Chains A and B, each alone.
Chain A
Amino acid sequence: MSMSLPAPRQKSAMSTEARVVLLTTLLLVVGFLVLYPLFNLLVTSFQTNDFGRETIWGIENWQKVFTQQRIGRAIWNTISLSLTRQAISIVLGVLIAWLIARSNLPGRKWMEVGFWIALFMPALPVTLGWVFLIAGRSGLLNKALNELPFVDGPMFNAYSWWGIVWVHLMTATLAVKVFLLVPAFKAMDSSLEEAARASGASLWGTIRKIVVPIMMPTILVVALIGLVRAMQAFEVELILGAPRNIDVYSTIIFRSMTQEPPQHGVASSLSLTFFFSIIPLVLLQQWYSNRHQYSVVSGKFQHRTQDLGVWKVPIAIAIWTLLFLMTVVPFVCLLMATFMKLFGMFDMANPWTTDHWVNALSRGDIPRALWNSLRLGFISALTGMVAFTLIAYITTKTKFWGRKALDFFTWMPTLIPGLVLSLGLLQMFTGVWVFRPFYGTIAVLVLAILISTVTIGTQMIRGGFRALGQELEEAGWAAGGSRFYTFRRVMLPLIAPTVAVIGLEIFATANSAVGIVALLGTGATQPLSILQLVLLDSGKFESGAVVGVVIMVLTIASALLARYIGTKAGLGRHA
């Protein structure tokens, strides 16, 4: 033999135990970060004293939740608004997803990209764009329509119940449905549809009687996810609901937190009420997706498209118009607003100005907030990529006893509305001595962003790990690679594109997230998203629009980059 080979080294069970200790520590840390805010909310909800005064215990906060009329109305608004836009978006979403995935619609690949961009469009700037267009009398579109002889007064009003529904539909609500359903529809065997057509069913009949029933499990899961997310919505309601006093529970929490003195107790009990009412929905969704995970996708399938015939062009035009409304229109409106002397006032002699941009760039707070956002984005993305990959790996590829609990913890933040989590984290950073030094630093915001992205991050990377055959890794061990060496040389390169996409997703979230950081990002660490919220809340729409444009450019750029990386690495089906 020309080569020297090491003899088998005896490895005792000790090092395995050390690994278990390490993993258990990780489990405890993650568990603490996720559960502590909840625990804290529970404690606070029983404290009835004013903020900063001596602690008084009582159940008055809970009584208020169930007796105050304003809260009752807010709860009704939350439910009715959520259900309405979910009902509309799921019907449209199923149709559009089917058209993109299964029909010969012209330009369907680019439509998918369009919905991907729409998914990333930050809600607050988009809301502002729509305010510019259809806010009562001053709305650009309303004014134009008013010129028509038979129109009297504003046609549309963004500051209304339907305005809220509309703006939500124009942001992530519809886009996320398409985004989640297209891959599922693509994985369906087209011979199922062809058999229906061959049996005499029309195209519409095939969709109704074959496609929808087969895809029902997936559709239900998507609808439930949508409902949970809808009930957590915050910033659109805050801006559009305010003038007409349309409150939802999240805006009430926000107001009770930001009023003087802050009503932490009421906010906590209200948060918990919603937390517990969302749980059944989440459990239902999990139960359903576990049961039906593999019912549709099979390894072997035909993928052919259905001919739409004469409807091809009209449908394509309709979807392109929708995408135009969802992406280009709000962006252009927002951009226009930044160059106007007074938001939406075209009647002035010379309405255009570059003052807002000059001001924005010369004033300290916007560059500082931009710097904060970028810093927050990069730090969150980097730590998130490492932490989520680690958690995903542990929960899919190891036999660690606590892996199920770890996975469960990563689901928890989905249950907790961003604003509620923000409150919990605020309490944690001001209340627990270990964390107190971090209060007021960017670490607080990083943690908030990580907690809000942990679910999608770990679940997507988990999906990536699961798609890698067990044997790829085992072959590495069998060939003599240690666990870490094999991970670095075999698993990491294979999972890297997914991780990169997640990194960009975290970056985009850090730039646009409002709810989760609303109560945390103040003073020196204030990121762009919060600066915008503050500007809008105080009526400075023009400066707010400038910030909005910056946010939009950042998020759309990272969305497109994520898309590009994902498609190049063949992640199109998962990502």
Chain B
Amino acid sequence: MTSQVSPDAASGTPGDVVLRFDHVSRIFGAFAAVEEIDLELHRGEILTLLGPSGCGKTTTLRMAIGLERADRGRITYRGATVDAPGEKIFVSPEHRDMGMVFQSYAIWPHMNVFENVAFPLRTRKIEKSVVAAKVKEFLEVVGLKGFEQRSGMQLSGGQQQRVAVARGLVANPDVLLMDEPFSNLDAKLRDQMRVELKLLQRRIGASILFVTHDQSEAMAISDRIAVMRAGKVEQIGSPLELYTKPVVPFVRDFLGHTLKLPGRVVGREGANVRVDIGHGVTLDVGGMNHMKNAAAGADCLVTIRPEEINVVDQSVEAGANSVSAGIRTLLFLGQQYEAVVDLAGGRDLLIFLPRLVGWREGQGVRLQFPAERLQVWDAE
């Protein structure tokens, strides 16, 4: 090893911050694509930037490697500043020593698989024998052994994807950036590649900054997710945390399905908030209370994830927090049913029903809402 190696890179331990954004903004004309973002990518984790298109997630990723310049703030990589417009510091992409997988894979069509993967090593003036060994190693890692001489044009989408990943990882970067890498694959292949990527990441311990607009992909693959909207990070946390404890309505609605029941706060019942959802039904909410002021009489929204509702036949005795309803339509999805149920007062809800119980359209059911699963929000 030469003395050029940065100390961080050699002695990094899991949990260290390898890439940091401090109040970073990127402005296009009058439009702030990214606004005052703070992010920390820890060594060995997969951090996903998730959000609808135009939310600034790709711009953030491109700033990480230097394909875009920050207009304000500071980006630090391995403890050294790589972009700080205030101090006129900017390290160009080729000097950042990261790996990146592009949405289109960007497999160079005039080079074969070997040359594509070897490129990052050649730019680093690595000895030929080492290059050959490294390329071989990483092609094996991504399951493309024996494809060295194929042209990029002779590969399927999934294979191009693997070449791109091998190219991104071959120079042992401390960070691999991935920009919607699975969006061009068909559904089945996408599921398979997710698993492969996670296994690969666990094996080689890479830190990955991942960008996607697909919430199920984000939840499946990430250690942590940063949900972005309109250039800002709305919430960062583990997938489970974001799913079960969203702190803003955007995160709640963006991840998975949420059932919403408008109502009015009646008062307190111990630790619970009691809410009248109309037609003589009251619910005790024992989960998170997001209301600024949950005083009696305030309009509110009670939410629950569909799978958290317990559905039983109407013959079962009514308990607390239960509502009677009728199954209007029943769609068999394979692993479960999707059903639209009518509630009193003409409201309906989309819920899921387990496959192994016999359901039929027109059947009367009782929906049981576990108090601790219900959350209450300010009315929208």
Contacts and interface: CB of A to CB of B under 8 A. Distances in A.
Interface of A: 1-13, 469, 471-472, 474-483, 485-486, 489-490, 493-494
Identify which of A480, A483, A494 gathers the most chain B CB atoms within 10 Å of its CB: A480
B167 interface: yes
A8 B96 contact: yes
B238 to A, nearest CB: 28
A494 B9 contact: no
A11 B91 contact: yes
Interface stretch (B119-127, B215-223, B248-256, B272-280): B119-127
List of 10 A-B pairs having minimum Cβ-Cβ separation, nearest first: A475-B106, A478-B100, A479-B120, A477-B93, A471-B106, A7-B6, A480-B123, A471-B102, A481-B123, A493-B110
A8 B78 contact: yes
B172 A482 contact: no
A12 B88 contact: yes
B97 A5 contact: yes
A8 B91 contact: yes
B91 A494 contact: no
28 contacts: A4-B2, A5-B97, A5-B172, A6-B95, A7-B4, A8-B77, A8-B78, A8-B80, A8-B97, A471-B102, A472-B108, A474-B100, A475-B100, A475-B102, A475-B106, A478-B65, A478-B67, A478-B93, A479-B167, A480-B120, A480-B124, A481-B94, A481-B120, A481-B123, A483-B92, A489-B122, A490-B108, A494-B109
Nearest to A399: B69
Contact of A4 (B4, B93, B108): B4
Contacts of B134: 3
A494 B110 contact: yes
Interface in B107-143: 108-110, 119-120, 122-124, 126, 130, 134
Contacts of B82: 8
Contacts of A2: 130
A481 B77 CA distance: 19
Nearest to B66: A477
Contacts of A485: 94, 123
B95 A13 contact: no
A1 B91 contact: no
B89 interface: yes
Contacts of A480: 94-95, 97, 120, 123-124, 171
Contacts, number: 126
Contact of A478 (B2, B99, B108): B99
B80 A7 contact: yes
Given A3-B134, A11-B91, A481-B94, 13 more contacts: A3-B126, A4-B4, A5-B124, A5-B171, A9-B91, A12-B89, A13-B90, A477-B67, A477-B94, A478-B94, A480-B95, A489-B119, A490-B108
A490 B115 CA distance: 11
A118 to B, nearest CB: 32
Contacts of B122: 489
Nearest to A4: B2
B88 A479 contact: no
A101 to B, nearest CB: 25
Interface of B: 1-2, 4-6, 9-10, 65-67, 77-78, 80, 82, 88-100, 102-104, 106, 108-110, 119-120, 122-124, 126, 130, 134, 164, 167-168, 171-172, 177
B344 to A, nearest CB: 49
A7 B5 CA distance: 6
B108 A494 contact: yes
A54 to B, nearest CB: 56
Identify which of B80, B109, B119 gathers the most chain A CB atoms within 10 Å of its CB: B119
A481 B119 contact: yes
A4 B1 contact: yes
A1 B172 contact: yes
A8 B95 contact: yes
B75 to A, nearest CB: 11
Contacts of B95: 6, 8-9, 11, 480
Contacts of A481: 94, 119-120, 123
B88 A7 contact: no
A158 B82 CA distance: 72
B138 to A, nearest CB: 12
Contacts of B168: 478-479
A6 B124 CA distance: 8
A479 B124 CA distance: 9
Nearest to A477: B93
Nearest to A469: B104
A13 B83 CA distance: 11
A471 B104 contact: yes
A474 B98 CA distance: 12
A479 B93 CA distance: 8
Contact of A7 (B9, B100, B172): B9
B4 A482 contact: no
A474 B177 CA distance: 13
Nearest to A6: B4
A517 to B, nearest CB: 37
A197 B164 CA distance: 45
A2 B133 CA distance: 11
